[in-house]
Structure 1
């Protein structure tokens, strides 16, 4: 151990390092206890050494001479010394900070495996992480992400013209990620998504007219991907969700009872979809492939259709439909047609698998003619009353 007052002069021109000392000499400062200057042949490095409350020796690197000055290194050593006097353990704190993973690493190694096991909507969660969240925040450690980063991300998502629902789902996933990281004690910071409000969602009311539906079926008849065409047709005649149809298996279909059972629906429960005559005709037109359990098989062995994006784009174009019409609008259309033909919201809700009547109401977009007919009910009631009154006075 070599004791000396570590000064600018000593750092600028230290004595030559004897080879017998292993190529380095350490100077222990006589003014600031724990402040060390390590001299090697080509580099000088500053350290701070201390003993924590458990009587364990710890050492922290302060920086290389040239990157920091002697005065800067001494000042930092004095700050750390004061921290230790107050019961702190700077080395352990530094190790803890370095152990906090980046957002990308946490999502890949911890969150997505958890989501795969616990969330039935895992594909949409994985997609949101891969396309929106990780590209924006992935390189930062979890404790480095602040509210300003989240606000900037949400602003970019809104500016990219994503729907309010998509932006909200991204924020909800992000909030869940940080809640789990804190629950699992990956870090101790606050959740940076706190107090950030959801985007106001504008629910679309698009549904197809009879003319548009006829054009759609003409286009489906000509669609080259017959599996996709059948899947889209079944959506029209059942009001099912896209994921439910893509994952439908023949074992879920009871043709005798005319029931299609969805083992796990969006609300977390099995649901039963009645199969109309037209739905049965769609199913009858599908070919059952050996070794493939899915009603709408994909290209891979034993796999379902991966998606409907391409076929739906072709069908829309061939049918002359607006480019903004979504597959989910077929579900809207199904509900609207049923309500417009006198079916109750309760019946429609049961078919669609809604647990709340308010949800069904949002899907049932009544046509203006139906609303006018409803408004005319008062006139019809009055006229019926007059007829009855006249009959009493003129027997």
Structure 2
């Protein structure tokens, strides 16, 4: 067959367009019926050409190169060839392919049929939004390749994400495509063969010199829901999801007990409320308007994502620490009324640099919301609490 070549990225990229009004057709040496059609304008389109019953020719457009990779085109062509060999008409196959859900659409089905049964479902939702939805959401399930998944995880690694975070995203992707196989959407899992990353156990918690700064900045938080959420997370040592979903009917203020009905390990837990934690809950109860201690505007009814508030704590503290060093050196700095917090920090950094001040340590680094849980355990240990008590907490 004329113009038969081995489709490689280098070979297809360097193909020259034909003369005006013409179209060149190239055939893949590896996949039956797979073609690349090139117009005089340089548009390159994958298609599948087959003869069906009665010898009638049928051509199905698959997608444009390089938006569709060679591997994707071969995989799709092989799937259509298999359907044709079993007696299906290419037009019927094409309609079936059009009906195949995108990754985002399938994730909605995954949520209804499987995800909501998981204890850590809210974490999975966040991981999907943060790492998988943008690069994969609009793609058909069968078009996702191992290279795509690998690139997402490699990018996370390059951005400095923890090995545990990368492994959690990998596990989520594997679970999604595993269910797609189970529910007859796919035959192969694109995550198969991608190795997990080395996970280093975190030991970061708020140190004695950091706690006063943390509380001072937290006390200046204008959003009382965010402020109280972080204080109760620290005082109870409970998991993030449990605090976010805390309901008033789980709180017994008379006995100072918070009854968590369903924890990550599947068992209920009683959390003893310190006087400080109880005082916060009493104040919030006075203005409560719904079932959740920390209400939100979304469909869940409760606070979902406190990360922006978490960042504000350390932004405010950094500004405070830089200003203290400026003033200690005889300088002056004041926040302007129409200036954002980030703009104030930027201006303060510039002033400190001009004064040749060392601002290292002005920002508390590498602290995550989950570290509040570890902070409680670490300080209990310093106070002589037994490991059994710390573990129970």
Which TM-score band (shorter chain)? 0.5 to 0.7
* Alpha-carbon displacement from aligned partner over 1:346-368 (angstroms, at most 9, x marks no partner): 211111xxxxxxxxxxxxxxxxx
Work out whether residues 228 and 280 of structure 2, in 8 Å CA contact, stay in contact via their aligned partners in 1.
yes
Q: 1:331 deviation in Å? A: 0.9
Work out whether residues 229 and 244 of structure 2, in 8 Å CA contact, stay in contact via their aligned partners in 1.
yes
Select 2:259's aligned residue among 250, 258, 261. Answer: 261
CA distance in 2, matches of 1:311, 1:329: 15
- Partner residue in 2 for 1:288: 286
- Partner residue in 2 for 1:218: 216
SS at match of 2:271: strand
Alpha-carbon distance change, 193 to 337 in structure 1, aligned in 2, over 3 angstroms? same
- Partner residue in 2 for 1:345: 387
Q: Could you state the TM-score of these two structures normalised by the residue count of structure 1?
A: 0.62
SS at match of 1:210: coil
Q: Which has the larger radius of gyration?
A: 1
* Alpha-carbon displacement from aligned partner over 1:20-41 (angstroms, at most 9, x marks no partner): xxxxxxxxxxxxxxxxxxxxxx
Pairing of 1:110-121 with structure 2 (within 5 A): 110-121=109-120
CA distance in 2, matches of 1:104, 1:159: 24
Work out whether residues 100 and 143 of structure 1, in 8 Å CA contact, stay in contact via their aligned partners in 2.
no
CA distance in 1, matches of 2:300, 2:167: 35
Pairing of 1:329-340 with structure 2 (within 5 A): 329-340=371-382
CA distance in 1, matches of 2:279, 2:122: 30
- Partner residue in 2 for 1:172: 171
Select 1:50's aligned residue among 50, 53, 64. Answer: 53
- Partner residue in 2 for 1:186: 185
CA distance in 1, matches of 2:156, 2:239: 25
CA distance in 2, matches of 1:301, 1:150: 30
Q: 1:322 deviation in Å? A: 0.8
- Partner residue in 1 for 2:311: 313
Work out whether residues 59 and 91 of structure 1, in 8 Å CA contact, stay in contact via their aligned partners in 2.
no
Work out whether residues 162 and 199 of structure 2, in 8 Å CA contact, stay in contact via their aligned partners in 1.
yes
SS at match of 2:303: coil
Pairing of 1:241-260 with structure 2 (within 5 A): 241-260=239-258
CA distance in 1, matches of 2:263, 2:382: 26
What CA RMSD, in Å, does the superposition of the two structures yield over aligned residues? 3.3
SS at match of 2:58: strand
CA distance in 1, matches of 2:138, 2:296: 36
Work out whether residues 204 and 367 of structure 2, in 8 Å CA contact, stay in contact via their aligned partners in 1.
yes
SS at match of 1:273: strand
Alpha-carbon distance change, 335 to 93 in structure 1, aligned in 2, over 3 angstroms? farther
Answer with 160-169 or 310-319: which moved more: 310-319
Q: 1:169 deviation in Å? A: 1.4
CA distance in 1, matches of 2:276, 2:244: 18
**Is the counterpart of residue 61 in structure 1 residue 58 in structure 2?**
yes
Where do 5+ consecutive residues of structure 1 fail to align?
1-45, 52-57, 65-82, 352-395
Work out whether residues 230 and 282 of structure 1, in 8 Å CA contact, stay in contact via their aligned partners in 2.
yes
Q: 1:329 deviation in Å? A: 1.3
Work out whether residues 292 and 301 of structure 1, in 8 Å CA contact, stay in contact via their aligned partners in 2.
no
Alpha-carbon distance change, 139 to 266 in structure 1, aligned in 2, over 3 angstroms? same
Count residues with an aligned counterpart. 280
- Partner residue in 1 for 2:231: 233
* Alpha-carbon displacement from aligned partner over 1:185-236 (angstroms, at most 9, x marks no partner): 113x222212322111122221112332222222333322222222211122
Work out whether residues 288 and 295 of structure 1, in 8 Å CA contact, stay in contact via their aligned partners in 2.
no
Answer with 112-121 or 95-104: which moved more: 95-104
CA distance in 1, matches of 2:288, 2:367: 35
Where do 5+ consecutive residues of structure 2 fail to align?
1-48, 62-80, 319-362
- Partner residue in 1 for 2:344: none
